[in-house]
Amino acid sequence: MGELVAIIETGSHHFSGCFADGVMFATGCTIGKSNLILNPLGKFALTLYVPKSHQAVRVTLRYERMSQCLDMDFFKLRAQGIPPFDLDPQVVDPLIQEVLTKPWMEIFALQEFEEYPFDMVPEVFEAVQCSICHELVVKSYAHQFRHQWYCKPCLDQLLHAPLASKG
Ligand SMILES: [Zn+2]
């Protein structure tokens, strides 16, 4: 609970899905620890939230900078379907060098929050057995119906079962 939370807005299936990998590597926030929150808006933004103090900082890539990047050979070749690991280092290295040497304020914009509206979801330690498939389900994901516990797929199946035909 005392750990940093990263909220990522990039989304997936586009030219910069790997933004999230960079955030995971740099912050240590992971899906498994539930402190990597995906808020897929297709925006190049990351919010870092500190649960203890409720402070946060939202980091965005500056529009001008990102537009310049999209005109570079790196993105042109990527758009042609060439995966990043097949790109010539001569195409990739200038991008890396620029990120490492340019003043960060020219690349990123910051927005600070003294009080950020984020509710931490407490960890659940209870699990129940689904009365149909008999598998274990974390209680916050299970549904109770007529005094029985169900996992979501089994409850859906129960509620959408075909009606018995008469005759
Ligand atoms: Zn089930």
Please state the pTM of the whole predicted model. Answer: 0.81
Are 5 and 29 contacting, i.e. CB atoms less than 8 angstroms apart? yes
Alpha-carbon gap, residue 148 to 143, rounded angstroms: 8
Residue with tokens 């939370």: 5
For residue 133, count other CB atoms closer than 10 A to its CB. 13
Ligand 1 geometric centre to CA of 4 (Å): 34
Q: Could you tell me where the DSSP H helices lie in 11-164?
A: 19-27, 63-70, 73-79, 89-101, 104-107, 152-159
| pLDDT at residue 84, rounded to an integer | 83
The three-state secondary structure class of 57 is strand
Q: What is the dihedral of CA 89, 94, 97, 98, to 10 degrees?
A: -150
d(CA 127, ligand 1 centre) in Å: 13
Span from the CA of 134 to the centroid of ligand 1 (angstroms): 6
Q: How far is the CA of 12 from the centre of ligand 1 (A)?
A: 30
Q: Could you give all domains of the chain from N- to C-terminal order, each with its CATH number?
A: 5-113 (3.30.1330.130), 127-159 (3.30.60)
Query: Mean pLDDT per segment of 10 residues, for the chain of length 167 residues?
Result: 86 85 94 93 95 96 87 86 88 86 93 95 93 97 96 94 72
What distance in angstroms lies between residue 129's CA and the mean position of ligand 1's atoms?
A: 8
